[in-house]
Chains A and B, each alone.
Chain A
Amino acid sequence: MSELAALSNSYQNWYRFSRNPTAVIGLLIVVLSLLAALLAPYITPFPDHVGAIVDFRNRHQPPSLEHWFGTDNVGRDILTRVIFGLRVSLMLAFVVLVIAVPFGTAMGLLAGYFGGWTEIVIMRLTDIALALPPLIMALAVAAVLEPSLMNAMLAIASLWWTWHTRLVYSMVRQIRALEYVEAAETLGASKTHILFREILPNCVSAIAVKTSLDAGFVILIGASLSFLGLGIQPPTPDLGTMVSDGASFLPDYWWESLLPGTAILFVALGFNLLGDGLRDLFDVEDVR
């Protein structure tokens, strides 16, 4: 009976989701990007153009049947490099979120449930962190430590968790006053049980929406950082660096900057549409 209910529930969800065209487009874009990044060596026309290859006779070739996105300043196929560049972008989003989301959620749970000094300390910390623009923080950290994209992204992760903390905190504040939580407390359930079995599951949909929206933003920030010169070591392709390198050839060789830029837009847009779709689906308010 309960299995059937669960099934019909998820079917209902899927039905509602699939009625929302933007959400479906978002999902498609995200799945497509993930697949492209995963299968990059098999689907790209010139997989060796990711490594140490130069072909100066073919530099600055405009888009053609052979090179759909044209070639760059050392004659490498831009389509190939864009698809491989997705790997870096998605990896960055993954790194930041895999750190920020669980940590931020845990902090939010603690602050919201225990209140008192725990709440004051955690929430004031988030206030401080939220006052720092992530891009500036990333540049500062990169300047102090080794200037690498990974350090910059870790700096961003160190700020990003606060958004999740605030979100979860506000939800926990509401949920902990609900009767089923009181009931569990009355029954003598442990705090761990209440936090992770009673409260957390009711925050999951909001966290999912927020995470999906975040992925888009993190990809944009990662691209901005590599545009500003904190890119990954060449010759590994990286979308932000490609835009930045290509910009010096504007407007003549527009494809070198514009097409990688479009790829960034595409992925970030995909995650945002998906996030918006999920928000409509779960009917979550106040995420962002």
Chain B
Amino acid sequence: MTTLLEPSVPGETYTLLRERMTIRGELDADSFLPWIRRHASKLGLFQDIVHSGPDRIEVDLAGAPELIDMMEVGCLLGPINVWVETIDRRRVSNAGG
């Protein structure tokens, strides 16, 4: 779902995406979850971890599309003790479905 935000600059509009990012690999949730929260915060993204396990983490993100792209690129590396195999993204509604 795409939501138009109030422009911060008169005459300018930008979009806010809500996406669910599914990260798969050899994931150490104890170190990766705080890393994800920290990285999303630095990017100014809304975040909500909806699932975490040793091989799959799902996080809902909301923000500008370019920033969600940057979140994906950052997560591909992640912390040193984590190996990310794949990242899938899909749009979600505000209800999270």
Q: Do A and B bind each other?
A: no
Interface of B with A (CB < 8 Å)? none
Interface of A with B (CB < 8 Å)? none
